[in-house]
Every structure is written in structure tokens, then in C-alpha cells.
Structure 1
Amino acid sequence: MNPLSDHEIRKSFVNCSRKDAANLPLPPGLRQLDWSRLEYLGWRDRQDPRRGFAVVPTSEGPVGLVLQTGAVPGGRARAAMCAWCEDVYLADSAVLYVARRAGQAGRDGSTVGTLICENFTCSENARKRPPLPYKGFDMEAFIAERIEGLRHRAAAFAASVLR
């Protein structure tokens, strides 16, 4: 993912007003992020832990999403697989995040949801090395395929918010 400035992050949001985007909290540690190890930028709102944000790179540029969840951080949740990183051995739970659609559809109450890692750790999960399944297994190709899959699925969700 290419590094983004505060202004670029705020400008990318598609499912909230410009005023709301201007007042969104930015991710903690933004200046210290290793952008080369991120497929998207995701963070939770420290003031409202049921709200999260994701900025997903697409071919048209970054798409910022305001997300809502009913799950309380650190609460007991049923085991579920994240739809973005598809990791089955999650350190955090996968929770349902719902995004209001962009434009008139969102103003009319239309939403779309998916299961995402509770604390947006998908990029870390995609890079985890699984146990070696067999002799000659190409670990680097496996990890590259997981990273590409994460990019594709995150961008597809962003596109569904824009529809």
C-alpha cells in the first residue's frame, strides 16, 4: 500500500459526509506505519470502540470506509473466519462489520457487511507462515497468494459499498 497523508486519508472516505470525514480520528502511530506490509489501513475508534475505519487501495485510488460493529472489543465471540484474510487461526476474533453504502443508497439506509478481523490484523495474518504441509511446498508463493487474495477481497468489499 502506498503511504497516505492525513488529508488523503480523510478525503478517501465515501460513506460519510465531508464534515464527518474531517472529524474522524486518525489511526494511532500513523507516522510509524510500515506501509509496505499493509494491504489496507484499518483501525478502531478509541472513543467509540464499535466503530472502525478502513482505507482500501483500489485502481481508482484509496476508498475510505466507516464501519460499525455490534461486538464489544475483547468480548467473547463465536469462532469465525475473516472474509478478507481468510485466516482460520486468528489471534483476534472476526466480527461482523457493516458499512453504509455510498451516496443516496446509504442515505436511504442501505448497508453491506462482512466478517473482518476485529482489530484489522489481516495484513499480519496473510503473512503468517503455516506449518510446512509437505516437502517442496513453496512457502513464498503461498504467502504471496494470500496477500493478493486479501487485496482482492478488500477491494471487492469497497466496490460493493460504492455500488
Structure 2
Amino acid sequence: MKPVTEREIRACFVNCTKGEAKRMVLPGDLAARPWEDLDFLGWQDPSAPHRAYLVAESGDGLVGVALRRATSGAKHPRSGMCALCLTTHTGDGVTLMTARKAGRGGQQGNSVGTYMCADLACSLYLRGKKQAGPGARPHESLTLEEKVERTVANLAAFLATVTGRPPGSVDG
């Protein structure tokens, strides 16, 4: 992913108002992010742990999505798999992230969700730059490039459900 600015980030959100985008807390370390290793930018709002944000490149530029993290009712650690990068985590390392749909669907209260790495560090798990624990990344015969393509396709499919556009028009 190419580096993005605060202004670009705030302008690309498709499922929140301009006021909400203006008030969102952006990561303070944008300049220090490992952009060459990122397939998308994801972060959690430090002032509201139930809010998270994701920005991805698409054919039309950037697409930003405001997410809401589900609260876990589980009392015992369990494993879960991220639907984007297929990394397995124990405990609360994977969480259901929901996004209000863009446009009329979102105005009517419709949302979609998928299970994602709670820290949205899928790109770093794929590349081995961050470890999720023993067995979290099962051995695959796919190349890194193929794993990245799969993750980007999974993300594009999720973004397509949020935006209501065909998956081919929203790619990461």
C-alpha cells in the first residue's frame, strides 16, 4: 500500500458522515507505518476500543470503512480464524467486526460483518512480521504473493458488501 495522508484518510470513508470522519482518532504513527508491508491500513480507536477503522486501495482510489468490534461474551479462551488472512488466534485475537452499509442501506440500519484479526494486522501476520502464536499460520504451499492476493480478494469481497458495488470494482 502506498502511504496515505490524514486528509486522504478522512475523505475516503463510505459508511460514516463527514462529521464522524472529521472526529475519528487517526493513528499517531502514520509516518512510521511499514507501508511496503501493508495491504490495507487498519487501526483501533484508542479512546473507544469498540471502534476500528480500515482503509484500502481500490480501483477508484481509497475506500475507508468504520467498523464496530463485537464484545466478547466468552469466558473461556477459544480459537478463531480471521476471514481475511486466515490467521488463527486464541482468546480475543479474532473478533466480529461489523460495518454499517454505505448509502441507503446504512441509513436504514443495515450492516454486514466478518471475523477479522482484532488488531487488523493481517498484512504483518501474512509476512511473518508479527506472530499470533504457535500454529496460527498453518503451512501452505502458496507463495506469499498468492496469500496476499487471497487476503486482498477476501477484503474486496467484504468491502463490496459494505459499499454495494460488485467485488471487481472494489479491490484492495
Aligned-partner SS, 1:66: strand
Corresponding residue for residue 18 of structure 1:
18
Alignment-derived partner of residue 151 in structure 2: 150
Q: Percent identity?
A: 35
8 Å CA contact retained: 1:84, 1:153: yes
Instruction: List gaps (5 residues or longer) in structure 1.
Output: none
The question of whether the paired residues in 1 share the 8 Å contact of 2:67 and 2:98 is answered with yes
Question: Which residue type is aligned with residue 10 of structure 1?
Answer: R
For 1:32, the equivalent position in structure 2 comes to 32
Q: Which residue pairs with 1:55 in the alignment?
A: 55
Instruction: Provide structure 2 residue ranges, at least 5 long, that are not aligned to the other structure.
Output: 130-136, 165-172
The whole-number CA distance in structure 2 between the counterparts of 1:76 and 1:124 is 27
SS in 1 for 2:154: helix
Q: What is the SS of the residue equivalent to 2:81?
A: coil
Please say if residues 2 and 36 of structure 1, whose CA atoms lie closer than 8 Å, have aligned partners that are also in contact.
yes
Q: Secondary structure at the match of 1:80?
A: strand
Confirm or deny: 8 A CA contact 1:57 1:155 kept in the other structure.
Answer: no
Q: Find the aligned partners of 1:59 and 1:76 in 2 and give their Cα distance.
A: 42
Alignment of 1:11-160 (within 5 A): 11-71=11-71, 78-88=78-88, 93-128=93-128, 142-160=143-161
CA RMSD, aligned part only? 2.3
CA shift, 1:78, in A, is 2.7
Aligned mates of 1:116, 1:132 — CA distance in 2: 20
SS at 2:147 equivalent: helix
